[in-house]
Structure 1
Amino acid sequence: MTDDLAAKLASVCIVEPLWIPLSDNCRLSGRMFAPPDFEHTPVPAVLELMPYRTRDRSRGKDTQTHSYFAARGYASIRIDIRGSGDSDGVMVDEYTPQEWADAVEAISWIAAQPWCTGKVGIIGLSWSGFNALQIAAQRPPALKAIVTTCASDDRYNDDMHYMGGCLLGDNLQYGATLFTWLGTPPDPLIVGDRWRDMWIARLEAVYPPPLRWIEHQERDSYWKSGSVCEDYSRIDAAVLAVGGWADGYTNAVMRLLSHLRSPRKGLIGPWGHAYPHFGMPGPQIDFLGYVTRWWDHWLKGVNTGMMEEPQLVAWMQESESPSNTYQNRRGHWVAEPAWPSPNVTRHNLLLGNGRLQGTVEPASGPIAITTTSPDLGTDSGEWCPYGWGADMPQDQRMEDGGSALFDTAPLSEPLQLLGGPECRLVVRVNKQEAMLSVRLNDVSPDGVSRRVTYGLFNLAHRHSQEVSDPVPVDQPVTVAVKLKDVGYEVPVGHHLRLAVSTAYWPLAMGVPHRLKLIIDSGSLTLPVRSDHSRIELELGDAVCAPYPEHHVVRPSHRGRLAVTRDLQNSITRVEVERSNGSFRLDDVNLTLHSTGTETYTMPWSDPAAATAEARRSVRFERAGGDCEVNTISRLGFQGNFYVFEGYLEALENQRTIFKREWNEKIRRSGAPVA
């Protein structure tokens, strides 16, 4: 960090709380970081809107990010959406029309303030990356540009709920987290004596998010709302779309570049689910400096040269030993002047008896038959890795052993993939419910198998995402499985492997049956980058404002702690921790405790008895009292139904003040009709 930047950071003004009035008499609470002379010299504004409590839970990283923009000449504002943090009202779900309407009002109010030039940008990661796109689709006049990071334009097919129509394990785990934070109280030091009434109102409004999302198993109007892919033309603002190959959200970057007509740029690095100045695996970059160039162009009218640079910049991953965590990911930067790129062409390979090549001899019968163990997938890593725990895919040889395999010959020259492969299969299954897992692996001469990318597909959705049909037993059905976008170079001497199975647990919930899969024929289409040129890109070292003073009581910890195969009882268990730990924030005189665990169980001979359980606990501790929210979320099968059990308890000074339980059965979409 330069001395000049350090001095500017030290002079940043912080307004807390910043109250933003709405037309229905609710107020949104936020923190504003601004240059010292902002009241006399108007500046553009940058917003981030999410429910993750700028007062405490996200206080540190909010300060690191938004202080930086203030030091660069912006009023940078972090707003808690309605019903979260210290904002008025209640929040019942993610990405609602109320959330967008509030944001449009907030933008109008900010643009009209004497300290604002009238030009506004939105930056976001995950939730706030989603609503950056959704708010842009509302077309508020003052909004000129957005930065959307680790988010999606498609809430149904490309979020943590469903993938290819398959229910993801993240639906329960993240849903359990939101279930807990929905019921947390505001800070009495901000909202005053009404804090307890606000808390009770929030608790009474809670409905378990995992349950709500399982109630919508098809692409219905619920998911279409907020999916900007339904009408890209609604977005006029300039869009900088950012992702990481390790993250669960990567596909949207290339879709946005392909379909938006507003000015747009794409940046994809090696990172997990985080801003690239924090992102793991590295290398991290000076992302805030990069984004400042974006803001300077669109909000200040400064020609930074950014729009003359390639439309897509991406990290081309290089083959290395698989690990469940990386400090840095091997690779190099590449660039494409536009996306879709004329430098990327589609190459088609056919599936034969264990082979994957340009031509195969006609088969007299099936080309593969396999019965997958229902616990296949424990080496998958998380659907959405954060990069700072054991959450990345490991050596795939165990998974390959339970799959139908198709291998290419060893490569005589390097192969670069950039984009999304697609696998077309003609298959037969012995049950009316079935899913497919399709993995593309890089296999070295020593046999080590590295997952390059993967896709899932619910066979009940073979005709449409909007309609589910039971699968005809032992009859051929044709499916197209889109694999996740990737940038990856396979070296000389290695070969590609396509692995097909009927389970990917616990990343996906799966089906309550052991399945026999017959593959009659198939093909794989690869996005091959023909020009292997690379760029020497100077994105700088990660720079941000200092983290505010705090004391770590218990470090955060995240990742799969253990996979246990219980030989005596023929069951596999996966134990996961998702704890933000405990830390004391000196400037607000508060200690925040946040813990979470999950346990997944899969009996080998009876997948109908599989269970998933998530426990979460949040406690706010301050001299003179504390508040606590605990939840339990469980999911299992019963006949043709999912069974969800939920429990929520709120305590004040160790005394229960609210308790509620749920026990609901939801028919599985595509399950056979009795």
Structure 2
Amino acid sequence: MTETAARIKEVRDGMRILWDVTITMDDGLPLAADVFLPEEPGRYPVLLSYGPYAKGLPFQVGYPTAWESLSGDHPDVAAGSSCAYQNWEVVDPEKWVPHGYAIVRVDSRGCGRSPGYIDHFSARETKDFVACVEWAADQPWSTGKVGTSGVSYFGMNQWQVAAERPRGLAAVCIWEGASDFYRDASHHGGILSTFWEHWYDKQIKVVQYGLGDRGPVNPITGLNVCGDETLSEEELAANRCDFGTVIRSHPLLDDWHGERSGVLENIEVPLLSAGNWGGSGLHLRGNVEGFLRAGSAQKWLEMHGLEHWTTYYTDYGRQIQLAFFDHFLKGVDNGWDRRPPVSLLVRSPGEAYEERAASAWPLPETAWRRLELDPDLLQFVEQNDAEPGSVEFSGGREVTFRLPATDADREITGPVSAKLFVSTDSDDADVFLTVRLFDPGGKEVTFAGAVDPNAPISMGWLRLSHRELDESASTPWRPIHSHSRTLPVEAGEVYEVDVEVWPTCIVVPAGYTLAVTIGGRDYENPELEDAVTMSNFKNAMKGCGPFLHDDPVDRPQRRDAARVRVHCGGDHRSSVLLPLQER
């Protein structure tokens, strides 16, 4: 059996480790990978990840605030591991190698120890990822069966690579990964998210290949995390796209965005899609849409809560992944194929969760309830028979409609949508919807979001000029907008618009009040006294996390100041559609 060439080979902590293995791409570019194997020689199924966060950068060093909360609040994450090999958003080898898996981590083109030009989620990256899967399938320590695994970026690009059907790919586990780069990630309802520009500065430029001696050092190997070359700032800039500027130059859903979204219908491999109730702004929608649209005959959806970096590493999440991969990579008859297609952790205030299984999404037992907006009472009503009226909001002023409290628990689980009749005094307007919860004393109840520790229940967005629906894909509970062109907006004209609110889950206890706030800018928790800051994000966490819509070009002052009127009753029955569940 021929051993794979590597920069450093060693046996430590119960693993054979091959540091800095070279995987050569079709254009001759060498990508760098680390391989973790069981000590006993043999052939093992492979779990592979490909991404930009630098395989040699420890989780604790690159993301210290996230690591502190993860390891401090969830001791099971560190139990049984030295944590020396923990990396951001990929599996811990010490938790997987003992179960008979080979772990492969690849630095994507231009990042970590892989040279090249950085162009995120591009066709070139997808081609590289495909080549890495096929390389792993051919190695002498591999059974030929490869699974892909990872969170966020390491999940998003799995939709793309799975659609290419590389040889050897046997199963994919996509944990909190967007599947539609436009609708899920770069533009919400047609409104530019500034997340990516800030993310690029804080999480990519700091691990770009060529930082060399100016970058961090792998504490285990002593190798430079970002390559042995030390390039100038000018050379580094020439080796990467200006991601924020490029996104801003593509305001509509065009071929550039299409290239960065997997053709979900082409996916055939067994699929586990895991989403986070607190993921509004990046991943939640994509995990649901990916599950619904993937062509796989064998596919499962799991939905959980807590932070973006938590559940993947806890015993709960790891045991789910292990059962999935054991079945499809090892052929273990563990009952996975008889598992219901949908499993949920139903969320209640106080971060309480109850496991539930279902046969489909949306849940088949959903009792859809359309409630109209009463502008006088500022409440939801079964039918607004009062005289037609309206309410007004602007960037700095919002309006909140409440569902009257009851003496019984009420559960909302599924997609939410709003049908609004709106007019504006401007040439365009942005509509922001926030689903919120208030306790019997009127205090807002927030939740641990995927990133923000004080997040509301869910959110939705729509730019008025992007109101055109994709009629072939839309349903009443899931309006999908085409975003292929902008429609004119005339001051004073009333327009019927459908707003997609991202899927959610909340048990509203007796005496609590569910509410929807309609406004003209991002939600901020009004009762928050000390906003949390994190090492890997620029802005303080005020309710929306880093998923803000504050670009001065995309949202000029006149847009933020636009006065918008929501018309109710009569011929303009503005309403919200809620997915109620029996308790």
- Say yes or no: TM over 0.5: yes
Counterpart of 1:105 in structure 2 is 131
> Contact between 1:125 and 1:275, CA under 8 Å: does it hold in 2?
no
Counterpart of 1:47 in structure 2 is 48
Q: Select 1:512's aligned residue among 557, 560, 578.
A: 557
> Contact between 2:112 and 2:227, CA under 8 Å: does it hold in 1?
no
Q: 1:473 to 1:57 in 2, by over 3 A?
A: farther
Whether 1:418 and 2:465 are equivalent positions in the alignment is no
> Contact between 2:212 and 2:229, CA under 8 Å: does it hold in 1?
yes
Aligned to 1:130, the other structure's residue is in SS state: helix
Counterpart of 2:487 in structure 1 is 469
Q: CA deviation at 1:166?
A: 1.2
> Contact between 1:149 and 1:275, CA under 8 Å: does it hold in 2?
no
Q: CA deviation at 1:191?
A: 10
> Contact between 2:417 and 2:501, CA under 8 Å: does it hold in 1?
yes
Q: CA deviation at 1:175?
A: 3.2
Q: 1:251 to 1:66 in 2, by over 3 A?
A: same
Q: Select 2:368's aligned residue among 332, 340, 346.
A: 346
Distance 1:233 1:370 in 2: 40
Q: CA deviation at 1:200?
A: 6.7
Q: Select 2:165's aligned residue among 139, 144, 163.
A: 139
Aligned to 1:271, the other structure's residue is in SS state: coil
CA offset digits 1:624-665 (Å, max 9, x no partner): xxxxxxxxxxxxxxxxxxxxxxxxxxxxxxxxxxxxxxxxxx
> Contact between 2:38 and 2:102, CA under 8 Å: does it hold in 1?
yes
Q: Select 1:273's aligned residue among 308, 317, 320.
A: 308
> Contact between 2:363 and 2:414, CA under 8 Å: does it hold in 1?
no
> Contact between 2:137 and 2:146, CA under 8 Å: does it hold in 1?
yes
Distance 1:133 1:503 in 2: 31
Counterpart of 2:196 in structure 1 is 171
Distance 2:227 2:107 in 1: 20
> Contact between 1:264 and 1:311, CA under 8 Å: does it hold in 2?
yes
Q: CA deviation at 1:85?
A: 1.0
> Contact between 1:437 and 1:500, CA under 8 Å: does it hold in 2?
yes
Q: Select 2:505's aligned residue among 468, 484, 487.
A: 487
Distance 1:112 1:465 in 2: 42
Q: CA deviation at 1:411?
A: 1.9
Q: CA deviation at 1:43?
A: 0.9
Q: 1:179 to 1:84 in 2, by over 3 A?
A: closer
Q: Which moved more, 1:482-491 or 1:264-273?
A: 264-273
Q: Select 1:332's aligned residue among 340, 354, 362.
A: 354
Q: Aligned partner of 2:500: which letter? A: K
Counterpart of 2:245 in structure 1 is 211
Counterpart of 1:32 in structure 2 is 35
> Contact between 2:372 and 2:383, CA under 8 Å: does it hold in 1?
yes
Query: TM-score, normalised on structure 2?
Result: 0.77
Whether 1:503 and 2:515 are equivalent positions in the alignment is no
Distance 2:369 2:295 in 1: 28
The alignment's C-alpha RMSD in Å is 2.5
Distance 1:193 1:349 in 2: 58
> Contact between 1:423 and 1:481, CA under 8 Å: does it hold in 2?
yes
Distance 1:25 1:207 in 2: 21
Q: 1:9 to 1:363 in 2, by over 3 A?
A: farther
Distance 1:456 1:333 in 2: 30
Q: CA deviation at 1:253?
A: 2.5
Unaligned runs of 5+ in 1: 1-7, 279-283, 321-328, 374-401, 533-674
Distance 2:207 2:55 in 1: 14
Alignment length (residue pairs): 476
Aligned to 1:128, the other structure's residue is in SS state: helix
> Contact between 1:182 and 1:202, CA under 8 Å: does it hold in 2?
no
> Contact between 2:55 and 2:225, CA under 8 Å: does it hold in 1?
no
Distance 1:270 1:223 in 2: 28
> Contact between 1:245 and 1:272, CA under 8 Å: does it hold in 2?
no
Distance 2:36 2:565 in 1: 60
> Contact between 1:166 and 1:456, CA under 8 Å: does it hold in 2?
yes
Distance 1:37 1:232 in 2: 38
Aligned to 1:55, the other structure's residue is in SS state: coil
> Contact between 1:437 and 1:504, CA under 8 Å: does it hold in 2?
yes
Q: CA deviation at 1:352?
A: 1.6
Q: CA deviation at 1:504?
A: 1.6
CA offset digits 1:114-142 (Å, max 9, x no partner): 21111111002111111111110111021
Alignment of structure 1 residues 42-441 onto 2, 5 Å: 42-56=43-57, 58=59, 60-62=85-87, 65-91=92-118, 93-159=119-185, 161-177=186-202, 180-181=205-206, 183-185=208-210, 187=212, 189=223, 195-196=229-230, 201-228=235-262, 231-248=263-280, 249-262=283-296, 263-278=298-313, 284-320=314-350, 329-353=351-375, 354-364=378-388, 366-373=389-396, 402-441=397-436
CA offset digits 1:309-340 (Å, max 9, x no partner): 222222222134xxxxxxxx223222212223
> Contact between 1:247 and 1:271, CA under 8 Å: does it hold in 2?
no
Distance 1:482 1:308 in 2: 33
Whether 1:453 and 2:461 are equivalent positions in the alignment is no
> Contact between 2:137 and 2:167, CA under 8 Å: does it hold in 1?
no
Q: Aligned partner of 2:115: which letter? A: D
Distance 2:289 2:493 in 1: 34
> Contact between 1:437 and 1:457, CA under 8 Å: does it hold in 2?
yes
Distance 1:432 1:287 in 2: 47
> Contact between 2:373 and 2:384, CA under 8 Å: does it hold in 1?
yes
Query: TM-score, normalised on structure 1?
Result: 0.67
> Contact between 1:9 and 1:71, CA under 8 Å: does it hold in 2?
no
Distance 2:355 2:108 in 1: 37
Q: 1:123 to 1:198 in 2, by over 3 A?
A: farther
Q: CA deviation at 1:467?
A: 0.9
Distance 2:326 2:390 in 1: 57
> Contact between 1:407 and 1:495, CA under 8 Å: does it hold in 2?
yes
> Contact between 1:314 and 1:487, CA under 8 Å: does it hold in 2?
no
> Contact between 1:53 and 1:84, CA under 8 Å: does it hold in 2?
yes
Unaligned runs of 5+ in 2: 1-10, 60-83, 214-222, 446-455, 469-481, 525-547, 569-573
Q: Aligned partner of 2:210: which letter? A: P
Q: Aligned partner of 1:452: which letter? A: I
Aligned to 1:289, the other structure's residue is in SS state: helix
